[in-house]
Amino acid sequence: MDKQRERATVEAFLHFQGYPPSGLTEWDRECPDALVHIDGQLIGIEVTQVVEATQRQKAPPQQWMAEASLVVRAAQEAFESRHVVALVVSVE
């Protein structure tokens, strides 16, 4: 994903969560893709695009969402088993 799209994704996330885009302090970077200041804390955000192995049109919506939820849950559990902070992940 290109840097402009990553920045737009982070800005949309901040807006959706009710934070000003000015919280985005660094975005032209890697690992994490962006740094934001939220409530006095510096938070790293990694933007990831998931490519579908089976197109949604070929799989029933319930199956696709169930599989996506399993991937998200596995990522959260793997991260949270090594860190004391929570991981926020969404799939649309």
Identify the pLDDT of residue 52.
Answer: 65
> Mean pLDDT in the chain?
81
43 burial (CB, 10 Å; 0-12 / 13-18 / 19+) is middle
Condensed to tens digits (0 to 9), the pLDDT of residues 35-69 reads: 998 888 888 888 887 776 666 667 777 887 888 88
Q: What is the dihedral of CA 17, 19, 22, 24, to 10 degrees?
A: -40
Domain ranges of the chain: 1-47, 50-92
| 5-9: average pLDDT | 88
* 51 phi and psi angles, rounded to 5 deg: -95, 130
Whether the pTM exceeds 0.85: the reply is no
Question: By three-state DSSP, how is residue 36 classified?
Answer: strand
